[in-house]
Amino acid sequence: MDFSSILEDAKKTINSFKENNPDWVVVIWWATATWKSRLSVELSQFFPMEVISSDSRQIFRKMDIWTDKISSEIRAKIPHHQIDIVDPDQTYTAWEWKDDSEKIIDDILVRWKFPFIVWWTWLYIDTIYRNYSMPECSPHYDLRAELEEKEKKNPGILHQELMKVDPEEAAKLHPNSIRYIIRALEIFYVTWKTKTEGYIQQPVRHPLLMLWLWRDKETTNQLINARIKEMFKMWLVDEVDALLKEWYSPSLQSMQWIWYKEVVRYLQWEYNYEKMEEYLKRDTHHLAKKQRTWFRRYIAEWIQSPKENVMYKVRDL
């Protein structure tokens, strides 16, 4: 598919949308290898825009290669928000991202520019698209450590615990999704409200254009494999090694992302270079599969019960 035709189609769609929606927000979204970032950069030639990253990994400083951050040169020309805002040993919740991003959106609009949210993390986008009223619950590290230790001694116990206090949320999570289970339990034990009770869907704050970029599975996997090889050429292993030498623990939330985690295992001599590359490809393909599943859920919702003040557009690549 010719990129120029994608660009022209996006321009027409945005122009049509903004005619009836003065305070609008565009969400360009789908998985890796679908030209999201390239499209947002090219669109800046035609719209006075600023970009909000919704990538839960790009928030971390010093983690640049695998998070595929936009270059500093481009960021100097086109303002990008929600990139490099916390250190690798800090946490940043979806609630914080929603709260900060809403302020950024309002600030962009008041300056007569347009916010473009470039998607990667579905949970972040959900906070805008579904506009949840979310429980304010800052991280409680002692409680998290206690729950982690409990899980280590008795694997699966936290999921059982969540089933008792919030069965609806537990049903959404795999028993191995420890980080999300701990967060749900943390919300309950701190606020005495379940995540299900606290997450109430509301109308969108601003009209949204959901611009989806769709690429078939085979092509996506080929591009993923090519990107993995390219990232190694860009000294990915050295970036991870530098983080370890700065005493950032492999157990940190930021280091648990599949690509960094596998490189850590390689650096700790658990397996060789070829096996690391094999695991990276396997895990990234699996991630892309998860993203396709979420994509289909959104499509089904759009068909069955589209949200008010939301325009949907799917573009095949």
pTM recorded for the entire structure = 0.83
Per CATH, the number for 218-286 is: 1.10.287.890
The per-residue pLDDT for range 243-301, each reduced to its tens digit, is: 999 999 988 888 888 778 889 999 999 989 899 889 888 888 888 887 778 778 878 88
Query: Confidence class of residue 317 from pLDDT cuts 50, 70 and 90?
Result: low
Residue 33's pLDDT is 57
Query: Confidence class of residue 305 from pLDDT cuts 50, 70 and 90?
Result: confident
Domain with CATH 1.10.287.890 in the chain: 218-286
pLDDT at 83 over 70: yes
Query: Confidence class of residue 224 from pLDDT cuts 50, 70 and 90?
Result: confident
From the options 3.40.920.10, 3.30.70.360, 1.10.20.140, 1.20.120.330, give the CATH code of 141-198. Answer: 1.10.20.140
pLDDT at 117 over 90: yes
Domain with CATH 1.10.20.140 in the chain: 141-198
Say which residue the tokens 């615990």 belong to: 161
pLDDT at 140 over 90: no
Residue 42's pLDDT is 85
What's the topology of domain 3-132+203-215+295-316? Rossmann fold (3.40.50)
Query: Confidence class of residue 167 from pLDDT cuts 50, 70 and 90?
Result: very high
Give the strands of the sheet with 25-29, arranged side by side.
Answer: 80-81, 49-54, 114-119, 25-29, 208-214, 310-316
Q: Average pLDDT for residues 102-126, to the nearest whole number?
A: 90
Residue 293's pLDDT is 80
Going by their DSSP bridges, the two strands 208-214 and 310-316 should be labelled as parallel
From 80, 84, 13, 74, select the one nearest 50 (Cα to Cα).
80
Please give the DSSP secondary-structure letter assigned to residue 52: E
Domain with CATH 3.40.50.300 in the chain: 3-132+203-215+295-316
Q: Where are the alpha helices (DSSP H) in 83-132?
A: 94-110, 122-129
Residue 316's pLDDT is 67
